[in-house]
A and B are shown apart, each in its own frame.
Chain A
Amino acid sequence: MNSKEWVNLFLYLVFGVWIAAIVIFIGCDPYNIWRMSAKNKYFSEKEINTLILAEKLNHKEFSLLFGTSRSNQIFGDGSNIDFLNFSSSLYGNAVNVSAFLKQLNAVQLKNVISIYYLVDDHTLNGYDKEDSFSKVQQLNYDSNLFIEKLKFSVFLNYEKILKTLVSIKYDYLSASYVVNNNGVIVRLNKNETLDVPDEYLSMSTRQYFTNDGIAALLDVDKFCKKNKVPIKYFTPTHFTQYLRLFDFDYMQNKWALLLEGGLSGFYALWNIENISNYVEGNKYIAFKDKFSHLNGYCANKVFIENVVNGDNKYFINSKEKLGDYVLFSNRLFK
Chain B
Amino acid sequence: MLFNSYEFIFLYLPFTYLIYFFLNKQRLTEASKGFLAVSSLFFYSWWSPIYLPLILVSMVFNYVIGTSLTRDKGHSRVSKIHLLTIGIIGNVGLLGYFKYSDFFVSNINIVLGVEIPLMYLTLPLAISFFTFQQIAYLVDSYGGGVKEYDFLNYAVFVTFFPQLIAGPIVHHKEMMPQFANVRNKVINYKNVSKGLFVFSIGLFKKVVIADTFSVWAVNGFDEAKILTFFEAWVTSLSYTFQLYFDFSGYSDMAIGAALLFNIKLPINFNSPYKATNIQDFWRRWHVTLSRFLKDYVYISLGGNRLGDFRTYNNLMITFVIGGLWHGAGWTFIFWGFLHGLALVLHRVWSQFGLRLNSVIGWVVTFNFVNIAWVFFRANEWEDAIRVLKGMIGLSGVVLPGRLSGKFSFLSSYGVEFGQWLRSIEGSAIKVTSLLVIFLIVVVFFKNSMEHMKSFKVGYRTSIASALLILLSMLSLNKVSEFLYFNF
Contacts and interface: CB of A to CB of B under 8 A. Distances in A.
Contacts of A198: 401, 418
A223 interface: no
B192 interface: yes
B67 to A, nearest CB: 39
A13 B476 CA distance: 18
A10 B189 CA distance: 12
A157 B193 contact: no
A17 B470 contact: yes
Nearest to B418: A199
A80 B459 CA distance: 64
Interface string A210-224: 000000000000000
Instruction: Sort chain B's interface into a size bin.
Output: 20 to 34
Interface string A1-23: 11111110110011001100000
B420 to A, nearest CB: 13
A157 B401 contact: no
Interface stretch (B232-240, B276-284, B460-468): B460-468
A4 B192 CA distance: 9
Which secondary structure dominates where chain A touches chain B?
helix
Interface string B187-211: 0011011001000000000000000
Contacts of B463: 9, 13
Given A1-B457, A158-B475, A13 B466 contact: yes
Contacts of A158: 474-475
Interface in A1-56: 1-7, 9-10, 13-14, 17-18
A156 interface: yes
A157 B474 CA distance: 4
B23 interface: no
Most A CB contacts (10 A, CB to CB) among B474, B476, B478 go to: B474
B458 interface: yes
Contact of A7 (B192, B469, B477): B192
Contacts of B401: 198
B459 to A, nearest CB: 7
A122 to B, nearest CB: 18
Contacts of B478: 157
B330 to A, nearest CB: 27
B189 A6 contact: yes
B189 A2 contact: yes
Q: Tell me whether chain B's interface is mostly helix, strand or loop, or mixed.
A: helix
B6 interface: yes
B209 to A, nearest CB: 15
A46 to B, nearest CB: 14
Contact of B459 (A1, A4, A18): A1
Given A156-B474, A157-B477, A198-B418, A4 B189 contact: yes
A164 to B, nearest CB: 12
A5 B457 CA distance: 9
Contacts of A156: 473-474
Given A155-B477, A198-B418, A6 B462 contact: yes
A161 interface: yes
Nearest to B188: A3
A24 to B, nearest CB: 14
A157 B479 CA distance: 12
B191 to A, nearest CB: 8
A161 B462 CA distance: 23
Contact of A3 (B192, B465, B469, B473): B192
A261 to B, nearest CB: 34
A3 B478 CA distance: 33
Contacts of B459: 1, 9
Nearest to A156: B474
A10 B474 CA distance: 17
Nearest to A154: B6
Nearest to B6: A155
A10 B458 CA distance: 10
A156 B461 CA distance: 24
A141 B478 CA distance: 24
A161 B477 CA distance: 13
B462 A10 contact: yes
A218 B93 CA distance: 56
A10 B464 CA distance: 9
A3 B418 contact: no
A334 B199 CA distance: 59
Contacts of A199: 418
Query: Which 10 A-B pairs have CB atoms at the shortest separation, nearest pair first?
Result: A3-B189, A13-B466, A6-B457, A6-B193, A4-B189, A9-B462, A3-B190, A3-B193, A157-B477, A10-B462
Interface of A: 1-7, 9-10, 13-14, 17-18, 155-158, 161, 198-199
20 contacts: A1-B457, A1-B458, A2-B457, A3-B193, A3-B457, A6-B189, A6-B458, A7-B193, A9-B459, A10-B193, A10-B465, A13-B462, A13-B463, A17-B470, A155-B476, A156-B473, A157-B477, A158-B474, A161-B474, A198-B418
Interface of B: 6, 189-190, 192-193, 196, 401, 418, 457-459, 461-463, 465-467, 469-470, 473-478
Given A6-B193, A10-B466, A18-B473, 19 more contacts: A3-B190, A3-B193, A4-B189, A7-B189, A7-B192, A7-B196, A9-B462, A9-B463, A13-B466, A13-B467, A17-B466, A17-B470, A18-B470, A155-B476, A156-B474, A157-B475, A157-B476, A157-B478, A161-B474
